[in-house]
């Protein structure tokens, strides 16, 4: 076992596969050296070549940070992949129901904190009448609320694109079957 206890994820993967695994899960820009270390490979050139190839194919993006090339997530591609996954794995009714569920949760927070928006809740954080625990609770709710709004926006976009995306299914005749995935 390595000093980091990562044998299990590396034992069946080639050096290039490990670089791809690390690179496609980046959450912030990282250097070739950082990726090389995380992927537990000895060759800097192998890591660089694989990162450049991933950037060329749009899986990640190369960015300049302080005059150095780093590799970052391709957020646009991730967003479109999430849209496709929602469209592939859900019916229109399921997407609508999920939007309603998210809205229910937001409405409960509005009632709980007697606010009209997330911004209103955020403005209550400096109220001296709240205990530190109450402020922490409000901070947790604010983070959840922001994620729910992002999810709701994504669900809304999936609904807006649903019919167009489903019609792009290869080999589909005039009949429309929304239970078929877009790509097979």
The pTM of this model reads: 0.66
Across-strand partners of 68? 65
CA distances to 27, 73, 141, 179 from 87, rounded to whole Å, are 24, 22, 28, 10
Q: Do 41 and 34 contact (CB within 8 A), yes or no? A: no
pLDDT in tens, 55-95: 999 999 999 999 999 999 998 998 999 999 999 999 999 99
Contacts of residue 174, defined as CB under 8 A and 6 or more positions apart, other chains included, come to none
Tell me the pLDDT tens digit for each residue of 130-183: 999 999 999 999 999 999 999 999 999 999 999 999 888 654 333 344 444 444
CA trace torsion 21, 152, 99, 159 (10° rounding)? -80
SS3 155: helix
Domain locations in the chain as residue ranges: 15-73, 77-165
């Amino acid at each position: 076992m390595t000093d980091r206890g990562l044998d299990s994820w590396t034992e069946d993967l080639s050096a290039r596969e490990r670089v791809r695994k690390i690179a496609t899960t980046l959450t912030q820009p990282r250097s070739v050296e950082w990726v090389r270390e995380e992927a537990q490979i000895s060759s800097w050139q192998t890591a660089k070549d694989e990162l450049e190839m991933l950037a060329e194919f749009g899986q990640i993006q190369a960015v300049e940070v302080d005059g150095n090339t780093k590799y970052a997530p391709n957020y646009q591609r991730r967003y479109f992949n999430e849209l496709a996954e929602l469209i592939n794995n859900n019916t229109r009714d399921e997407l609508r129901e999920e939007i309603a569920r998210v809205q229910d949760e937001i409405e409960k927070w509005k009632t709980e904190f007697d606010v009209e928006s997330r911004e209103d809740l955020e403005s209550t954080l400096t109220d001296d009448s709240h205990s530190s625990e109450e402020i922490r609770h409000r901070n947790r709710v604010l983070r959840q609320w922001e994620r729910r709004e992002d999810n709701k926006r994504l669900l809304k976009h999936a609904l807006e694109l649903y019919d167009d995306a489903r019609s792009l299914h290869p080999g589909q005749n005039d009949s429309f079957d929304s239970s078929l995935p877009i790509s097979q």
